[in-house]
Amino acid sequence: MEPVSLFDLATKQAQWLAVRQSAIAGNIANANTPGYTANDVEPFEKVLDRTAVSLQATEAGHLGNAATNAGFAIKPQQDDGVVMPSKNSVVLEDQLMKAGEVRRSFELNTAIVKAFHSMMMMAVKS
């Protein structure tokens, strides 16, 4: 049985969410550090845009074209004009809202994978 790309996509999104959660946690931890610039991860849509989906060669005569490996990294957050007197750009309310988004995205990701897994198991059992 060939691997289903939905599981690969869910794995990539879970990794992206983990990196984003780490960036948000770092921002919250450094909320009182003078001169600290808040960090964030590029949107997942941009990561998907860089990921090429390709067909897999199943016969020797087929042309193969490997998919690119899309990575993601933490980078400085876009400046929204809010800077504390200590030159710190972390706004705790924004970071807590982002942390909530990450939690909801993790829950949705897990629910989709669970539903797809149940569907696959029903198909295999019947």
Q: What is the pLDDT of residues 61-98, one digit of tens each?
A: 655 444 434 457 778 877 666 677 788 889 999 999 99
Q: What is the pLDDT of residues 28-46, one digit of tens each?
A: 999 999 999 999 999 888 8
Mean pLDDT across 45-68 = 62
Alpha carbon distance 57, 123 (integer Å)? 26
Separation of first and last alpha carbons in the chain: 16
CA dihedral over 108, 110, 116, 121, signed as positive or negative:
negative
Alpha carbon distance 12, 26 (integer Å)? 21
pTM: 0.73
**Averaged pLDDT of the chain:** 82
Of 6, 78, 11, 16, the closest CA to residue 47 belongs to 16
Q: Is the pLDDT of residue 15 over 50?
A: yes
Higher per-residue pLDDT: 123 or 59? 123
Q: Is the pLDDT of residue 116 over 60?
A: yes
pLDDT band per the 50, 70, 90 thresholds, residue 51:
low
Alpha carbon distance 3, 37 (integer Å)? 41
The residue count of the chain comes to 126
Residues 6 or more apart whose Cβ sits within 8 Å of residue 95: 24, 27, 28, 31, 38
